[in-house]
Amino acid sequence: MASAVLVVDDKSEPLITMDNPDDAGTEHLENITIPSVLITKKLGDDLKKSAENGDMVSVLLDWRESLPHPDERVEYEFWTNSNDECGPKCDMQMDFVKSFRGTAQILEKKGYTQFTPHYITWYCPEAFVVSKQCKSQCINHGRYCAPDPEQDFSQGYDGKDVVVQNLHQICVFKAANESGKPWLWWDYVHDFSIRCPMKEKKYTPECAVHVIKSLGMSFGTLNLIHPNISLFCF
């Protein structure tokens, strides 16, 4: 059994973030539990050449220096999205939140980690700001956009609804972090996904407010009713 897997880039380029493939056969991915790392084409070619020459090749995978730890805490980031109707990727993301929430909160409470969530967004080119697509998917004059959940501009929720909920979650994290309880973000995201799903037509600012109040958070510092007010959380 292999101890680790080195994935070699097939192009000479700066390393990019790996993503789950969309092709069939992804059901086997969850069974891969050994460490894996993406390396440059040049390094991969050098390793293969040494192996072909019969040289002893020893590779040490060490992530200690790649993680920021100025104060003995592990600092990590989670790139996420409040959209719950984007298919398998959204389901996988929420499954991770549900399964990792307890562990993340214990690590944060004990001071072992420092966590920061980030939200995937894009902007609308100025020439298309007045288009139907940008008006449906963006807020703040095209500055913050998200894809339409159903890929249908005539029905259901719009991309701008996703942006607003992303902003709400950023505000919740900011307020929780400033109160010394950043782990409340995990409770909010978890509870919002259960109580305010798109398929039940509850994916609304009003539902977000109810979740926030149920967690006992200070509502006065959040101002979540209007999306433009929430922009201050950036």
Least confident of 40-49, 66-75, 100-109: 66-75
Terminal Cα distance for the chain, rounded: 47
Q: Domain 74-233, what architecture? A: 3-Layer(aba) Sandwich (3.40)
Q: What is the mean pLDDT of the chain?
A: 83
Distance separating alpha carbons of residues 234 and 222, to the nearest angstrom: 12
Question: Is the model's pLDDT at 232 over the cut of 80?
Answer: no
Question: Is the model's pLDDT at 17 over the cut of 90?
Answer: no
Find the angle CA(207)-CA(101)-CA(30) to the nearest 5 degrees. 115
pTM of the model: 0.67
* pLDDT bucket at 228, cuts 50 / 70 / 90: very low
pLDDT, greater one: 28 or 41:
41
* pLDDT bucket at 26, cuts 50 / 70 / 90: low
Q: Which of 25, 183, 159, 28 is nearest to 102 (CA)?
A: 183
pLDDT for the residue numbered 58? 86
Distance separating alpha carbons of residues 117 and 41, to the nearest angstrom: 31
Question: Is the model's pLDDT at 182 over the cut of 90?
Answer: yes
Per-domain residue ranges for the chain? 5-52, 74-233
CA distances from 21 to 25, 27, 122, 185 (A): 9, 11, 22, 29
φ and ψ at residue 40, rounded to 5 degrees: -70, 160
pLDDT for the residue numbered 220? 55
Question: Is the model's pLDDT at 138 over the cut of 60?
Answer: yes
φ and ψ at residue 117, rounded to 5 degrees: -85, 145
* pLDDT bucket at 67, cuts 50 / 70 / 90: low
